[in-house]
Amino acid sequence: MDMNQYLTMFIDESNDHLQSLNENMLQLESNPDDIGIVQIIFRSAHTLKGMAATMGYEDLASLTHQMENVLDLVRNEKLKMQDYIFDTLFKSLDALESMVQDITEGGDGKSDVSSIVASLQSIVRGEGAPSSEGAADGASPAVSIKGIELDEFQYSVLDQSISEGHQVLYIQVTLREDCQLKAVRAYMVFEALERSGEIVKTYPDVQEIEQGEFDRVFSLYYITQRETEDIDNQIKSISEIETTSVVALDHESLQQMVQESAATAEVVKSNDSAATPAPVSPSETTANTNPVKESKASAPRNTGGGNPSRTIRVDIERLDVLMNLFSELLIDRVRLEQLASESNNQELTDTVEHMSRVSSDLQNIVLKLRMVPVDTVFNRFPRMVRDLAKTLDKKIDLIITGAETELDRTVIDEIGDPLVHLLRNSADHGVEPIADRIAAGKPETGTVHLRAFHSGNNVFIEIEDDGRGIYREKILKNAIAKGVVTEAEGASMTDDEVNQLLFAPGFSTAEKISDVSGRGVGLDVVKSKIVALGGNVTIYSTPGKGTNFSVQLPLTLSIIAAMLIQMGSEKYAIPLSSIVETGIIKRGQIKHVHGSRMVQFRESLIPIVSLSRFFDVPDFDEEAEEETEIVVIRKGDRLAALTIDDFIGQSEIVIKNLGKYLPAIQGISGATILGDGQVALIIDANAFIK
Amino acid sequence: MGEEIKVIVFKLGEEEYGIEVEKVQTIERMMPITRVPKTFAFVKGVINLRGVVIPVINLRGRFGLDEIDATDQTRIIIVAVNEMQVGFIVDSASDVIDLNTDNIESPPEVVGGIKAKYLRGVAKVGEERLLVMLNLSEVLNKSEIIQLEGLEE
């Protein structure tokens, strides 16, 4: 069989399973007695093993196999989860991850896992005799299922069918032990049956079967016109099926069957709860070796049928092409709008207006397609923080909120590393060692909050710890020692400015360099990366109470809403996200403070920046005007007023870069093409506020 | 034996210059240029070339020659070198000729006021015609420009 076509599917699903393994292991660690979680972990590992074996990745399969052995003991309560077991299992997960990574990059997924395997085996030996069924299949397949529980409706359907002279069959199919593609075989059985009748109810339910989440046996009620024997033969003709039992039912036997199953229902109760997902308490599952499906399904998207969220995976490059094409369209749209308004043709105007509406809907969708929940970055952090805490011998809780917040894919791709850095920083420099925390009267477990949320045209990601906070003196001392600032400069700096020193190149506050953070490449890299994405970082800190790194990111990098302005014969665009307000001031309102020009805005005085001076605009100077239009812009919580010539209006613009030849230009962040085909420069408001 | 190359011929003043044809993307008539502030004086701004924003420099200015007003002969030659796209404003672009690389001789110190490092050589075409071949990567070398600007200040 050619495996290549399954390879991407294998990689995707393996990653899904590894992720869910990691998540559930973490849950289990905080809740070690919850056998329900062990069941989920076991099943993920089991599926992973099956997939790996099918694809011929033996090391992967043998490692998962050993993990299963350990987990099997745990879920049968023959082994208590302990720290060193967690560590070994986590180590195994790391090994699995790197193997899958290797396969992703085209390798053969081979890796020396013997030491991990050995330690897993020693756990199995050391803590009790390996159970007889602890091996390959995990759960014993020989569970006899006495009928399937039916609800009233299904019962009446079957009952009525019998009355109407249809054949009602109870079919139980057992797959061969070495069957690798259980889901596929089961599906083939279903398809064969559905050709000549109707399946009323299956056990386990169809979704679980299609996802391969059953041991070798499944059973179903079936209504048909055909003979029992025909059906039996038809099923047997499918390969890899060990046995089938097809029983024709009449009124009595049906009733009997249902009663029997009701009697076993107490035992099977937790299975039943699978249909209406509910958390499973450990006591219910002990007598029961059948997989328990919990609400948090581990295999979210591998089959089409009946799955609530229907998704397809699309090559990212195609989305980029779509985006580029759409940008072209948008430029033409603006041009068309302009032509239509000049031509005074009502029909043309109507059509163009309609087109504009359609294209703004299209724009929303295209932009949404590129949006990815930050969870795709966040999901590896719980594990990372756990490991960090272990290494640093601290206790740290990571609390994630807003993981569903969406960001443009380009931002997501870039934001991972800076966040890792900030989290490491919080864990290492922020949260104190346990002894210090107790001495300071804090709970010994430190808390790090990782929050994401929308605000206006921005997404904020905050990393807040309840650690020791930032001490001004310490930073200044360090900065002066490192030559980042002079003593005189330091004395006149505000607390904010002092905090910003953390981002200065070549600055590291940790007294001793640990392998976690503080390796010289410091927060300055974080800052420059975030700034390159059009974002910003702010630090809020209370000494002794904790520190908050707030990362502000633009929602999208490609299309933004902007205010177009006129400067003499030139046109510029100012992103709406940085505009607070627009207005007109009179010459007399301008005040001179310490040689700089200020204007009263709301309750405060804000500086005035002359755009015409800043950009040396040749044919406009506001000095000649009695009244001047201003745009109040914002950077963080600081404001400034830009004096301009005139407003043109608001417009959606497509951001283009100025080409590689031009160096970075102060005050300009890019260019856009206007409706008339002219290029307008986009003003970078941050450059005007120091 | 050298190889045969095709060369685009353009003029700055009376002097004729050449750029290999494969480095030239297109030749455009003069079009509206958006001024870009706070950059080198010879950078005239950016143009919209079929949806792509491309910086345009005045080649006269780049070589320290006097800049002249655009005429209807003025052309913008769009070149692509080292993944950079740049437009050159030239007095006129007239011709494509075949040239044998053997006919390119190393340049004298200064040709028509242009430093030798910007030149690949001088080619003799026919009896009387001299063609100055440009060294594009040197012309577009930014670090050199920055040094140059630094000296002027």
Do the chains contact at A663 and B43, CB–CB below 8 Å?
Answer: no
Supply the pLDDT for residue A383: 87
Do the chains contact at B38 and A615, CB–CB below 8 Å?
Answer: yes
Q: Which residues in A lie closer than 8 A to residue B48 (C-beta atoms)?
A: 673, 677-679
Question: Which residue ranges form the domains of chain A, and what is each CATH number?
Answer: 4-124 (1.20.120.160), 143-271 (3.30.70.1110), 316-369 (1.10.287.560), 375-554 (3.30.565.10), 559-688 (2.40.50.180)
- C-alpha distance across the termini of chain B, in Å: 47
Chain A: residues touching B (Cβ < 8 Å): 327-328, 331, 570, 614-618, 656-663, 665-668, 671, 673, 677-681
Question: From the CA of A661, how many Å to the nearest CA of chain B?
Answer: 6
Instruction: Find the residue in B nearest to A665 (Cα).
Output: B38
Q: Bigger pLDDT: A621 or B114?
A: A621
- Please enumerate in sequence order all residues whose Cβ is within 8 A of that of A195, keeping only pairs 6 or more positions apart, or say none: none
Question: From the CA of A683, how many Å to the nearest CA of chain B?
Answer: 11
Nearest Cβ partner for A661 among B37, B51, B84: B84
Condensed to tens digits (0 to 9), the pLDDT of residues A275-312 reads 444 444 444 433 343 443 333 333 333 333 444 457 77
Supply the pLDDT for residue A469: 85
Instruction: Find the residue in A nearest to B81 (Cα).
Output: A661
**Residue A56, phi then psi, degrees to nearest 5:** 85, 20
Alpha carbons A119 and A108: distance in angstroms, whole number: 24
- Is residue B90 over pLDDT 60? yes
Nearest Cβ partner for A677 among B35, B37, B48: B48
Q: What percent of chain A has pLDDT over 70?
A: 85
- Is residue A548 over pLDDT 50? yes
In the stretch 56-75 of chain B, residues with CB closer than 8 A to chain A read 57
- Please enumerate in sequence order all residues whose Cβ is within 8 A of that of A149, keeping only pairs 6 or more positions apart, or say none: A258, A261, A262, A265, A268, A272
Supply the pLDDT for residue A491: 80
Rounded mean pLDDT of A496-517?
A: 65
Find the length of chain B. 153
- C-alpha distance across the termini of chain A, in Å: 65
Count of helices and strands (H, E) across chain B: 3, 13
Supply the pLDDT for residue B144: 58
Alpha carbons A189 and A174: distance in angstroms, whole number: 11
Rounded mean pLDDT of A484-512?
A: 74
For strand B84-90 and strand B75-81, is the pairing parallel, antiparallel, or unpaired?
antiparallel
Condensed to tens digits (0 to 9), the pLDDT of residues A653-670 reads 888 878 778 877 888 888
- Please enumerate in sequence order all residues whose Cβ is within 8 A of that of A544, keeping only pairs 6 or more positions apart, or say none: A440, A468, A469
Q: Which residues in B lie closer than 8 A to residue A617 (C-beta atoms)?
A: 37
Count of helices and strands (H, E) across chain A: 22, 22
Rounded mean pLDDT of B74-82?
A: 91
Q: Which residues in A lie closer than 8 A to residue B136 (C-beta atoms)?
A: none
- Please enumerate in sequence order all residues whose Cβ is within 8 A of that of A370, keeping only pairs 6 or more positions apart, or say none: A319, A323, A408, A409, A410, A556, A558
Question: From the CA of A623, how many Å to the nearest CA of chain B?
Answer: 20
Do the chains contact at B86 and A659, CB–CB below 8 Å?
Answer: yes
Condensed to tens digits (0 to 9), the pLDDT of residues A234-273 reads 787 777 777 788 877 777 777 777 666 655 544 444 444 4
Do the chains contact at B32 and A331, CB–CB below 8 Å?
Answer: no
Supply the pLDDT for residue A214: 74
Q: Which of A214-228, A428-442, A650-664, B136-150 has the highest mean pLDDT?
A: A428-442
Do the chains contact at A617 and B37, CB–CB below 8 Å?
Answer: yes
Q: Bigger pLDDT: A208 or B90?
A: B90
Supply the pLDDT for residue A315: 79
B78 at A interface, C-beta within 8 A: no
Supply the pLDDT for residue B142: 67
Supply the pLDDT for residue A309: 56
Do the chains contact at B39 and A614, CB–CB below 8 Å?
Answer: no
Beta carbons within 10 angstroms of residue A134's beta carbon: 19
Range of the domain at B99: 4-152
- Is residue B35 over pLDDT 90? yes
Q: Band of the pLDDT at A333, cuts 50, 70, 90?
A: confident
- Is residue A566 over pLDDT 80? yes
**Residue A423, phi then psi, degrees to nearest 5:** -65, -45
Q: What percent of chain A has pLDDT over 90?
A: 10
ipTM of the complex: 0.87
Rounded mean pLDDT of A328-333?
A: 81
Alpha carbons B131 and A293: distance in angstroms, whole number: 80
- Is residue B149 over pLDDT 80? no
Supply the pLDDT for residue B112: 60
Do the chains contact at A659 and B84, CB–CB below 8 Å?
Answer: yes
Instruction: Find the residue in A nearest to B83 (Cα).
Output: A660
Q: What percent of chain B has pLDDT over 70?
A: 88
Q: Bigger pLDDT: A271 or A478?
A: A478
Q: Which residues in A lie closer than 8 A to residue B36 (C-beta atoms)?
A: 658, 662, 665, 668, 681
B50 at A interface, C-beta within 8 A: no
Q: Bigger pLDDT: A611 or A512?
A: A611
- Is residue A35 over pLDDT 90? no
Do the chains contact at B46 and A659, CB–CB below 8 Å?
Answer: yes
Q: Which of A86-90, A110-114, A194-198 has the highest mean pLDDT?
A: A86-90
Indicate the average pLDDT of chain A: 78
Supply the pLDDT for residue A260: 63
CATH classification of the domain holding B128:
2.40.50.180
Residues of A carrying an active site annotation? 46, 68, 425
Do the chains contact at A661 and B38, CB–CB below 8 Å?
Answer: no
The domain total for chain B is: 1
Q: Which of A365-374, A431-440, A673-682, B19-28 has the highest mean pLDDT?
A: B19-28
Supply the pLDDT for residue A456: 66
DSSP state string for A512-579: S--SSS-SS--HHHHHHHHHHTT-EEEEEEETTTEEEEEEEEES-SSEEEEEEEEETTEEEEEEGGGE
Supply the pLDDT for residue A557: 64
